[in-house]
């Protein structure tokens, strides 16, 4: 690909992102597109990819867990509490790794619980292991700052 082709492609990408951003956000920076107000359970990489590709401008946090995992069970109430507290501002997804092995492989997740943050088609943050409420809340604030930085 020539340098001019790369530049044209970059301009197209920026224009596309600008159009998507305008569809999602009002002039004041608040979200005008409805983000689900509850946790979405994904069953495969394909389901995750559909959300990921449809809403590239909205930050996504996916919580990977397993039923047999004691730390996952201890984090579950914190995760639900944060999802309620920040409902409509971030996509909250979760996936059971025993069902969604393809997600574990695709994102090279080695342990659970794991929290992955995505924005604009790329992974931005990752936390693995049992986390405190304040650590998870900090992760959400970092996630929300991605939107403010790119507005």
131: nearest Cα among 148, 145, 117: 117
Residue predicted with more confidence, 26 or 112: 112
Predicted confidence band of residue 19 (pLDDT cuts 50, 70, 90): low
Catalytic residue list contains 100: no
CB 88 within 8 A of CB 144: no
pLDDT value of position 12:
62
Catalytic residue among 58, 61, 64, 72: 72
**Cα atoms in the Cβ-side hemisphere of radius 13 Å centred on 113:** 22
The answer to whether residue 45 is catalytic is: no
Which of 51, 61, 69, 95 does the annotation list as catalytic?
A: 69
Domain 35-150 has CATH 3.40.30.10: yes
- Domain ranges for the chain: 1-33, 35-150
Residue 146 has what pLDDT? 84
Phi, psi (rounded to 5 degrees) for 88: 85, -5
Does position 58 have pLDDT exceeding 90, yes or no?
A: no
């Amino acid at each position: 690909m020539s340098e001019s082709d790369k530049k044209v492609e970059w301009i197209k990408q920026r224009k596309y992102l600008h159009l998507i951003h305008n569809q999602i956000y009002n002039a004041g920076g608040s979200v005008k597109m409805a983000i689900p107000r509850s946790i979405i359970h994904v069953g495969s990489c394909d389901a995750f990819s559909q959300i990921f590709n449809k809403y590239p401008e909205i930050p996504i946090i996916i919580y990977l867990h397993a039923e047999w995992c004691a730390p996952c069970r201890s984090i579950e109430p914190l995760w639900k509490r944060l999802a309620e507290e920040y409902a409509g501002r971030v996509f909250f997804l979760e996936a059971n790794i025993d069902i969604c092995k393809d997600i574990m492989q695709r994102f090279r997740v080695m342990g659970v619980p794991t929290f992955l943050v995505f924005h604009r088609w790329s992974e931005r943050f990752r936390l693995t292991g049992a986390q405190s409420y304040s650590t998870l809340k900090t992760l959400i604030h970092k996630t929300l700052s991605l939107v403010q930085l790119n507005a």
